[in-house]
Amino acid sequence: METSSSPSFAVLNEAIESELKVRSAVLDGEIVCLDAGGKPQFRDLLFHRGDPRFVAFDLLWCEGPAIPAN
């Protein structure tokens, strides 16, 4: 599966590809850095502080086997 994002987030691309067990999908979400309380902090993402995470909030299209609910 091919992912589309900035080269800065290559680790996220690899993680998404390995976790989704489908040939192709279109996800809608955002990349965030979370603080100790679990709240997104844009400045941490902007200045490359913390670990970026991809939070998917919509699966717009999917081709392949069903995605498990867990």
- Residue 70 is predicted with a pLDDT of 59
- Residue 67 is predicted with a pLDDT of 59
> What is the number of alpha carbons within 13 Å of residue 65 lying toward its C-beta?
5
State the average pLDDT over residues 62-68: 66
Alpha-carbon gap, residue 40 to 3, rounded angstroms = 23
Is the predicted pLDDT of residue 65 greater than 80, yes or no?
A: no
- Residue 37 is predicted with a pLDDT of 93
Q: Give yes or no for a contact between 62 and 25, defined as CB atoms under 8 angstroms apart.
A: yes
Q: CA–CA distance from 49 to each of 44, 53, 65 (Å)?
A: 5, 12, 36
**pLDDT per residue over 15-64, tens digit each?**
888 888 788 888 899 999 999 999 999 899 888 888 888 999 988 888 86
